[in-house]
Amino acid sequence: MTGFRIFNARKWPLSLALVGAMGLAACDENGEFTLGASDGAAAQDPLPANALNQRPQRDVDVERPDIFAITDNGLWDGRPSLGGVWVAHPEVIDPERVVIRNTESGQEIIGALFRRERENPGPLLQVSSDAAEALGLLPGAPTRLEVVVLRREQVEIEETADPAQNPVVASLNTPVTVEEAPLEPAESGADGAAAAAVVLPAAVEAATSAAEQTAAAAAEVATETVDVSSVLAAPAPLPTGSSAQIGVYSVEANADAAVETITASGIAAAVTPEELGGRTVWRVVAGPLSDTGDIARLKDMGFVDAFVIDPAE
């Protein structure tokens, strides 16, 4: 016998399963480890946020080397393991929440600490695959690790902010310069009440003056009298001998009625029968016309389709 015990390979999967089950059981519903919390701390209710003389507090992780701390070689055997981030050590009594540091690279991660069998060969600290990946451990290569127990504690937040750095507070402390100006004697209004003098800032006074000028200009434009006769153009003369076609009627009586209406207004008109598409129609023409005013008169009579005929046609 050499003094070394032969490692039983059949125990290794069972150990991994037990460690994984312990790791899963140690997590609360939010995924945080609840290991190492005392019954007294869990039963104590926090003070309300608006309690008198209550200073702002927050929960932080505090290292407790007095409970457990060790710096030793850790080993990952290269195989995947259950239970997430954890390390195991033979001297652990109860599962704990710890910070695991790689002393060589400075990498660290928070995980669980479990008890491992002392008879397993290799370094005392056994590392899970997830912890090894986070800490940069190579499979089968012992690495110096530091493991320290953590406790959640409430600490008061120190208010170190300088109020002078706050622009709002600084603006409140800045003195405001107020200009004083003598007021003219108040004039009594129509109702006998004295009018109060109001001094407006320069920007407000300028804006008010511009608005008053715009309103005055608009009032002047609204009250101006526009000579419509000068705006409307005079009737344009038409070429000598111009006439206007009133329309083409399929009923001779309708054509004769149109001629009578036009003639009564002082404009000559005539009916001319024509053959169109194998049937007789009656074309009404008014004229001669002197200017475009005659065309306007024809349209006012209801002959809106009237148009000027070129004398050359």
Structural domains in the chain, CATH included, are: 11-33+56-156 (2.40.40.10), 243-309 (3.30.70.1070)
* Number of Cβ within a 10 Å radius of residue 289: 24
- Residue 9: which pLDDT band, with cuts at 50, 70 and 90? very low
pLDDT tens string 10-47? 454 555 555 555 555 555 544 455 554 444 444 455 55
C-alpha 306, offset from chain centre = 63
Position 238 scores a pLDDT of 82
Q: How does the average pLDDT of the chain come out, rounded?
A: 75
Helix intervals (H) in 224-264:
228-231, 252-264
Is residue 256 scored above 90 in pLDDT?
Answer: yes
Q: Mean of the pLDDT values across residues 282-290? A: 86
Q: Compute CA distances 281 → 52, 125, 257, 268, 309, whole Å.
A: 108, 119, 15, 20, 19
